[in-house]
Chains A and B, each alone.
Chain A
Amino acid sequence: MIQFEQVRKGYGGRLAVADLNLHIAAGEFVVLIGPSGSGKSTTLRMINRLVEHDAGSIRFAGREIRSFSPEDLRRRMGYAIQSVGLFPHWSIEKNIGTVPRLLGWPADHIAARVHELLLLLQLNPADFVHRYPHELSGGQQQRVGVARALAADPEVLLMDEPFGALDPVTRIALQKEIKRIHALSGKTIVLVTHDIDEALFLATRIVLFRDGQVVQDGSPLDLLAHPAHDFVRDFLGRADLGIKRLGLDSVGSRFRAGVSATGSALGLDTNLRDALSAFISQGRDSLPVVHTDGSHAGALYFEDLLHTGPALPPVTT
C-alpha cells in the first residue's frame, strides 16, 4: 500500500529521515514510535505530502506520490492530529463532511455518511450534528476528528499522536475505539506516538525510530521478546518488559478448562497483566475463569502466567 525506498529528508543540513526503507501492507496497523525528533512525524507527513521528501521514492497504491496532485492524494487519506484541528466556524456535521464535499458527493449521501460515522464513533447523531466544536469535550472533539478523517472512506488513515492530549480514561476509551474500527474496516492505519503502551496495545507492527533511522521493525511480541538493541530495551522500559509481555496475551490462551477455583472470576478476554494484578491483590494462586455470559469456563493458575510463548531474554539492570 505504501512503500518508502531510500527516502531522505533534511531540514537545513540536519537529516530528519535518512535512507528509510519501509513497506506498509494493506490492512496493517503500523505504529511509528520513537523519542522526539526521531523522524517519526516527518515520515508520517511525507506520506500525504505535507512534507516533501528530498530523495528516494514513496509509492502509494503502486504510484509515486508525486504523480498525484497533493489535493487528490490527501483526499484519499484520512488525517487526524493531536490538536484535532476541527474548523471552529463549522457545525460538527459540516466538519465531518469536509472531504466528501471536496470530492463533490451529493448532499444526502454526505448526510447519511455523517450519521453513520457518528454512530461508529458512539456519538448520538441527533445530539451532535448541529453543535459546534467549542461545545464539545476534548474526547468528543477527537472522536469527531477521527470521524472526519474516515469520512470519505479513505484507503489509508494517518494519525499523528491523536490521543496525546487526552486524559488517561478518555485516551484508553478512544484507543479501544480505533482498534475496533481497524478490526471492523481492515483499513491501513499509520499512527505516530511516543507512548509505548499505546503502541503495544494498538499495533500489528511497531517501527521504532531513532535519529531518523529505523532501529527495529516488528510485531509487538517481537519487540518485547527480542529487542534488537539496548536502546530498544530502554525504550520499552527495561524493568517491566515482562509485565508488558503479559499485557499482550489474554486469559483465554492460558486457562485450564473445566477446573474450578475460588475467588472473584476473570473474564476470558482479560489480559494477563490484569490477571497478575488480580492474583496479587486477592492473595491467591488460582482464580476461576468465566465466559462473557458469566458461565463457568475453568481456572487460571498463577504458574500458567509463566508458560508458553518465546522466552524473554534475561533482564540486565
Chain B
Amino acid sequence: MRHPASPQALPLLLLANAAVLGALPLLSEAPNRLLSGKGMLLQDALARAGQGWWAVAGIWCTAGVLLLLARGWPATQRPASYGLLVWLAGWVWGLCALCGTLAAAHQVRTEGLGRASLSSGLWLSVLLVWLSANELLRDLHARKPLTLGVWLGVVAGVLALLASGHLDALSTLKEYANRQEDFWRALRQHLYIIGWTVGLTLTAGLPMGVWLHRQPPWAARVFLVLSLVQTIPSIALFGLLMAALAWLGAVFPLLPAWGIQGIGLAPAVLALSLYSLLPLVRSTFEGLASVPAAAVESAHAMGMSGRQRLWQVELPLAAPVILSGLKVMLIQTIGLTAVAALIGAGGLGALMFEGLFSSALDLVLLAIAPIVVLAWCAEALFTALAAYSLPAHTSHDSI
C-alpha cells in the first residue's frame, strides 16, 4: 500500500506553503460584524506585529532550511525528519498565535466592534503542513501509534492556545463567547442524537446481519430495500417520517406522551437509523461471509452450539469488517445529524442553519468545527480499534 516517498515532494510542499503565505491573506479584518473584511498578507501581519515576530519568523525559516539539508544526509536523516515534524507543528502554532495577537490588536483599535477572522492563506497553509507531515511520516514508515501521537500533539498545542485565551479575539471565538450556552447545549443534543441512533442501529442491524447470513435467500431482498432507503434524500426522509409519526401519534395518543411525535428527536433518530442500517447490516453480512469455511466446519464438528459458533468463531473473525462498517456508519451519522435540525431535533445543525440564515459565517464555522472534530475522533477511534483487534492473528504485511 505504501508508495515510496519521492525526495522532492517535501521541499516542493514547503515551497508551495511559502508561496501560499506570500500570496493569500492570513487574516481578514472587518470594522464590524456585518461588513466584509479586508485581507492581510503574512508580511503585513509580521510588520504589524512587531520586531520580535520578524525575528522568530527568520529563525524558524533558517531552522527549516537547515533541517531539510540535514535530512538529505543519510546519517542525520531520521533525527532531521523528527525535527521537521516538530518544526511543522511549530509552524501551525506560530501562525495561530500570530493571528491571535493581531486580532487582539484589532479589537483594541475598533473598540471591540471589529471582527478579525482566519482567512484562506492560513487554511491552505495548514492543509499543506498536513500533507508535508504525511509525507514525513510515510518516509519514516511510522506505525499508527506514532501517526496518531503526532496529530494529537498538534491538536493539543492548538487547544492549549485556545485555553490560554490568546485566541479569544478571533471572530469565531467571539461568537463562541456570545453563544457559549447555546453551543454546549447543541453539542450535547448532537451527541444525544448520535448515541440513540448508534444504539438503535446496533440493536437492529447486528441481529439483522446475522439473520441474513443464515437465511441467504432473504439477503438480496433486504439489501434492495435498504439501498432504496439510502437513495432517498435526507430531508425527504425526515419529511416522510414526520408525517408518518404525526399520524401514529394521532392514532395512539400514548406515543406523543412518550416523546414519539412528528417533530423532534423521534423522527430524526428513526431516519438516521434507517440510513445507518445499510452500512452496518452489509458489513455484518459480508464479515460473516468472509469467515473461512473450514473454521466454520470445524466449529460445527467440534460440537459448538449455534450461539457458541457465532460468539466464539464467527463474530470475532468478522470483527474487522464489521468495525469498518461501524466506522462508516458513525461518521455518516455525525454529519447527517446536522440536517436533523430542520425537523426540530436540535443539535449543532440548529446553530449552523441559524448562522446560514443570518449570514453569520462565524456562527456557521462554530457549529461545523465540532462536527469535523467528532468525525476525526471517530476515525481515530476506529483506526485504533482495528489496530488492536487484528495483529494477534494476522501479520502486519497482510493488512
Contact of B303 among A73, A84, A89, A132 (CB under 8 A): A73
Q: Which residues of B contact A88 (CB under 8 A)?
A: 292, 295, 317, 393-394
C-alpha gap A48/B299 in the complex (Å)? 13
The verdict on B297 contacting chain A, using a C-beta distance below 8 Å, is yes
The verdict on B31 contacting chain A, using a C-beta distance below 8 Å, is no
Number of interface residues of B (CB under 8 A): 23
C-alpha gap A202/B118 in the complex (Å)? 81
**Distance in Å: Cβ of A75 to nearest Cβ of chain B:** 4
Contact of A74 among B302, B392, B394 (CB under 8 A): B302
Q: Which residues of A contact B305 (CB under 8 A)?
A: 71
Number of interface residues of A (CB under 8 A): 26
C-alpha gap A85/B295 in the complex (Å)? 4
C-alpha gap A72/B294 in the complex (Å)? 21
Task: Closest B residue to A145 by CB, please name it.
Answer: B298
Given A71-B304, A75-B302, A99-B303, does the pair A85, B297 have CB atoms closer than 8 Å? Answer: yes
Interface SS of chain B: helix
The verdict on A87 contacting chain B, using a C-beta distance below 8 Å, is yes
**Distance in Å: Cβ of A142 to nearest Cβ of chain B:** 12
Q: Do residues B303 and A87 form an inter-chain contact, with CB atoms below 8 A? A: no
The verdict on B203 contacting chain A, using a C-beta distance below 8 Å, is no
Of the candidates A71, A83, A89, A148, the one having the most CB atoms from chain B within 10 angstroms of its own CB is A89
Q: Mark A142-164, 1 if CB is under 8 A from B, else 0.
A: 00000010000000001000000
Task: Closest B residue to A158 by CB, please name it.
Answer: B301
Q: Which residues of B contact A83 (CB under 8 A)?
A: 293-294, 297
Q: Which residues of B contact A90 (CB under 8 A)?
A: 393
Q: Do residues B298 and A71 form an inter-chain contact, with CB atoms below 8 A? A: no
Q: Which residues of A contact B294 (CB under 8 A)?
A: 81, 83-85
Q: Mark B315-348, 1 if CB is under 8 A from A, else 0.
A: 0110000000000000000000000000000000
The verdict on A212 contacting chain B, using a C-beta distance below 8 Å, is no
Q: Which residues of A contact B295 (CB under 8 A)?
A: 85-88
C-alpha gap A81/B304 in the complex (Å)? 17
Given A87-B313, A88-B292, A99-B303, does the pair A79, B393 have CB atoms closer than 8 Å? Answer: no
**Distance in Å: Cβ of A190 to nearest Cβ of chain B:** 13
Of the candidates B294, B304, B308, B394, the one having the most CB atoms from chain A within 10 angstroms of its own CB is B294
Q: Do residues B301 and A74 form an inter-chain contact, with CB atoms below 8 A? A: yes
The verdict on B300 contacting chain A, using a C-beta distance below 8 Å, is yes
C-alpha gap A150/B264 in the complex (Å)? 61
Of the candidates B296, B302, B316, the one having the most CB atoms from chain A within 10 angstroms of its own CB is B302
Task: Closest B residue to A102 by CB, please name it.
Answer: B303
The verdict on B395 contacting chain A, using a C-beta distance below 8 Å, is yes
Q: Which residues of A contact B301 (CB under 8 A)?
A: 48, 50, 74, 79, 81, 158
Q: Which residues of A contact B392 (CB under 8 A)?
A: 89, 132
C-alpha gap A83/B392 in the complex (Å)? 21
Given A88-B393, A134-B393, does the pair A75, B317 have CB atoms closer than 8 Å? Answer: no
Q: Do residues B304 and A102 form an inter-chain contact, with CB atoms below 8 A? A: yes
Q: Do residues A50 and B300 form an inter-chain contact, with CB atoms below 8 A? A: yes
C-alpha gap A39/B268 in the complex (Å)? 58
C-alpha gap A132/B316 in the complex (Å)? 15
**Distance in Å: Cβ of A169 to nearest Cβ of chain B:** 23
Complex interface residues of chain B between 7 and 31 (CB less than 8 A to chain A): none
The verdict on A133 contacting chain B, using a C-beta distance below 8 Å, is yes
Q: Which residues of B contact A84 (CB under 8 A)?
A: 294, 298
C-alpha gap A98/B304 in the complex (Å)? 9
Complex interface residues of chain A between 66 and 117 (CB less than 8 A to chain B): 70-75, 79, 81, 83-90, 98-99, 102
Q: Which residues of B contact A81 (CB under 8 A)?
A: 294, 297-298, 301
Q: Which residues of B contact A134 (CB under 8 A)?
A: 393-395
Q: Which residues of A contact B316 (CB under 8 A)?
A: 89
Q: Which residues of B contact A48 (CB under 8 A)?
A: 301
Contact of A79 among B292, B302, B317 (CB under 8 A): B302
Task: Closest B residue to A70 by CB, please name it.
Answer: B303
**Distance in Å: Cβ of A163 to nearest Cβ of chain B:** 15
Q: Which residues of A contact B302 (CB under 8 A)?
A: 74-75, 79, 98-99, 102, 148
C-alpha gap A87/B314 in the complex (Å)? 10
**Distance in Å: Cβ of A128 to nearest Cβ of chain B:** 15
Given A73-B303, A88-B317, does the pair A79, B394 have CB atoms closer than 8 Å? Answer: no
The 5 A-B pairs at the shortest CB distance, nearest first, are namely A85-B294, A85-B298, A74-B303, A75-B303, A83-B294
Give me 17 A-to-B residue pairs in the complex whose CB atoms sit less than 8 angstroms apart, sorted by A's number: A50-B301, A72-B303, A74-B301, A81-B298, A83-B294, A85-B295, A85-B296, A87-B313, A88-B292, A88-B295, A88-B393, A89-B316, A89-B317, A89-B392, A89-B393, A132-B393, A148-B302
| A-B contact sample (11 more), CB < 8 A, given A50-B300, A86-B298 | A79-B302, A85-B294, A85-B298, A87-B312, A88-B295, A88-B317, A89-B317, A89-B393, A102-B304, A133-B393, A134-B394
* B residues adjacent to A (C-beta < 8 A): 292-305, 308, 312-313, 316-317, 392-395
* A residues adjacent to B (C-beta < 8 A): 48, 50, 70-75, 79, 81, 83-90, 98-99, 102, 132-134, 148, 158
